[in-house]
Chains A and B, each alone.
Chain A
Amino acid sequence: MKIINSHYIPLPEPRWLIANAYGNIYEQLGTLTIVEDVSNKKDGYRIKTHSHPVVSHTAIDSNEVKDEQFFYYSTLTPANGEVLDDMELKDCRPICLSSLRSLDYWRFNALIFVFQTGEHHRDFLLEDFISDLRAFHVRLIFPEKELQEVTITSYNIDHGDGCRTTMLISDMTKILFVVPFYGYRENNKVQPNWDEIFLEFVNQARAYLEINSKYRFHFKSSVEMFNPLIERLNNELNDYLEREED
């Protein structure tokens, strides 16, 4: 590999908070660009560029914050200015400006949809993402209505090479649930059992209660195949959730 040049581009303030594919959040201080020579005889002169984010793990001065959880979070993290060598900017998504720390549920849904259906979807945890947002003091703007209607349908994702996954997703304009339903790998159908699917819904519902503990979910679907699942979700999901009033 021949590296022609590398540059560090510092970003002006206010800087952006970004999330990588695993849902970890950082403040982006700058970008390290690397220009690589990939010329060959066949195609002639070619270059390839890589851009790695240079980040700060603690976006707020931890001396100013009295929150115990954030204090723990910020201690022992690597010092500011780390280059994320395993992630490029195309794998990361901007969340919000560090001066306006707020995220509405439309953009939140779009972000978690990208993460939960992307390449690293097995490593993405919704609870961690929400708790990281809390740690960075990002205000989440979510609908205040207590009863949330969740309409479930299926969605196919083609990963190429005969590998296909079907997800159960709900309406993107409301509270979003994304649960893996079954996958095809080289024409072999891999289907998790209904119990696992149900418990994944429980985990995600529990994560949303962190945002608003008054949420009550009512599920419905026009697909007949999902009726047993919908019935179980409507009957049992509430029993699994712990609310402050309990």
Chain B
Amino acid sequence: MELDDTFYAGKRLITLRMVLGLMEDADNSLETYRWATSALLHAIHTKDDLLSDYVKDVFRQKSMAPYRPYKEEEQADDTSPEEALRNIRMDDVVMRSKAKMAIEELMTLKDAKGEPLFCQKNHWWAVFRLFVDRRVCKIKENCYKEFIALIDSLEIIHVNAPLDMATLSNISQDIYRFPFIRWELKIPEDASSRWKTAYTRLYQIAEKLNSMLVKMGF
């Protein structure tokens, strides 16, 4: 027993000296961190309190953590059903279902030739504009990302034209950035006939959607 004790005491002294020397010689904090972690593991393994206290002191002095700080991974889509149920609010549910119904109905509308009224990417401008004007689902000016996220989350089975960020954010270049009631006043004098035909179609879509939203109580 005596031999064992002195043997371990000697080994501990060697380890301590080695760790001390290596940590003092270390060129950077990462190297110190590595030596200190291995010393700490050694101390835990051999149940050496003196060494582990010393290493923990070193960690404290150097303001380092003996383990990697736990990083919570971002899992926005992976919320538990209980949490989702906790965050739900009845007015949101009602508003979202109404908005979905309005868009689904808009997709089925036909023009004079019997073709779908809503057929181009930039027709989403009218939907965005009316959602901002009527404050549907808390969509505000400049909230393009939120609008796209909202339409995605509604999971509308059929849309006549896809919605993308590049087209939607171009709304700020045209008169459609103004509220719907001001569109007629803002028509530029030198507008081309092509622009005017596009405008009339967008105006029709916006008018239809507006009347639907007003009926639904927005």
Contact = CB atoms under 8 A, between A and B. Distances in A.
Contacts of B172: 195
A69 B95 CA distance: 11
Nearest to B177: A240
A242 B185 CA distance: 14
A242 B133 contact: yes
Nearest to A68: B217
A127 B138 contact: yes
A91 interface: no
B141 A202 contact: yes
Given A195-B172, A239-B178, A246-B181, A75 B141 contact: no
Interface string A204-217: 00100000000000
Interface string B180-197: 011000100000000000
B90 A73 contact: yes
Interface in B91-150: 91, 93-94, 133, 135, 138, 140-142
Contacts of B181: 242, 246
B166 interface: no
A226 B11 CA distance: 72
Nearest to B143: A203
Nearest to A192: B142
B165 interface: no
Interface of A: 42, 69, 71-78, 125, 127-128, 195-196, 199-200, 202-203, 206, 239-242, 246
Contact of A203 (B60, B141, B179): B141
Contacts of A69: 91
A71 B90 CA distance: 9
Contacts of A241: 179
A199 B182 contact: no
Name the prevailing secondary structure of the B interface residues.
helix
Contact of A196 (B93, B133, B138, B142): B142
Given A73-B91, A206-B140, A240-B141, 15 more contacts: A71-B90, A74-B90, A76-B88, A78-B86, A127-B140, A128-B138, A196-B142, A199-B141, A200-B142, A202-B141, A206-B141, A239-B179, A239-B186, A241-B179, A242-B133
A127 B133 CA distance: 13
Contact of A242 (B60, B86, B142, B179): B179
Contacts of B86: 78
B93 A76 contact: yes
A72 B94 CA distance: 8
B194 to A, nearest CB: 25
Interface centre among B89, B140, B181 (most CB of A within 10 A): B140
A128 B138 CA distance: 8
A239 B172 CA distance: 14
Interface in B23-39: none
A203 B135 CA distance: 11
Given A240-B179, A242-B179, A76 B90 contact: yes
B89 A76 contact: yes
Contacts of B89: 72-73, 76-77
25 contacts: A69-B91, A71-B90, A72-B89, A72-B91, A72-B94, A74-B90, A75-B90, A77-B89, A127-B135, A128-B138, A195-B142, A195-B172, A199-B141, A200-B141, A203-B140, A203-B141, A206-B140, A206-B141, A239-B182, A239-B186, A240-B178, A240-B179, A242-B133, A242-B179, A246-B181
Nearest to B91: A72
B5 to A, nearest CB: 27
